[in-house]
């Protein structure tokens, strides 16, 4: 039941935001009472953080000694992660924009696995891992959060052919690989 609550809560928080989501909304969608929710989660913030802990604790990065292979694996892992649960991209974007205001220390620690892995991959280079992570995370979250907008815009453009779809993962790997090679 806890997993079902987390998945339902993800949808509500991602679409409506933290402030505009109530425990009552989540309980109603699940056809349970609000006290039943409180049996599993002590309050709204506890449930909200449980979403980040549940999903981000599943992230695993394999790191060898090949920077380009590791970087490709890192990007591939995040690509699969966000495509599997695209609402996470929306929720993470919201949380980044408010400076992780609603996240507790445990959630922040688990989310930081991403930058820790990237830091290991880039060890021995003069590349700032926060820059690379920002490039990757903002690209994935923006891409997934603007799919409908891109479809609307491309249907209105008549002067030239613009595809609303492209291989973001491939483009990120190419761009970041070329950046690292240029900096070495």
Per residue in 103-138, pLDDT (tens digit) is 999 999 999 999 999 999 999 899 999 999 999 999
Q: What is the pTM of this model?
A: 0.88
pLDDT of residue 163: 60
What is residue 104's three-state secondary structure? coil
pLDDT of residue 160: 60
- Residues in the chain predicted with pLDDT less than 50, given as ranges, are none
What is the rounded distance in angstroms from the CA atom of residue 133 to the CA atom of residue 125? 15
């Amino acid at each position: 039941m806890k997993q079902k609550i987390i998945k339902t809560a993800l949808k509500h928080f991602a679409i409506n935001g933290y402030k505009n989501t109530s425990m009552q909304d989540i309980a109603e969608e699940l056809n349970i009472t609000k006290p039943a929710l409180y049996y599993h989660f002590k309050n709204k913030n506890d449930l909200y953080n449980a979403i980040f802990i549940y999903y981000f604790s599943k992230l695993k990065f394999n790191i060898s000694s090949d920077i380009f292979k590791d970087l490709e694996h890192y990007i591939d892992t995040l690509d699969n992660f966000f495509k599997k649960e695209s609402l996470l991209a929306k929720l993470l974007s919201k949380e980044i924009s408010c400076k992780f205001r609603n996240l507790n220390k445990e959630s922040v620690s688990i989310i930081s696995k991403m930058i820790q892995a990237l830091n290991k991959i880039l060890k021995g280079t003069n590349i700032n891992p926060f820059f690379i992570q920002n490039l990757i995370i903002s690209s994935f979250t923006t891409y997934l959060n603007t799919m409908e907008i891109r479809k609307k815009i491309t249907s209105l453009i008549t002067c030239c052919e613009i595809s609303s779809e492209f291989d973001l993962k491939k483009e990120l790997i190419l761009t970041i690989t070329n950046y690292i090679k240029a900096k070495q």
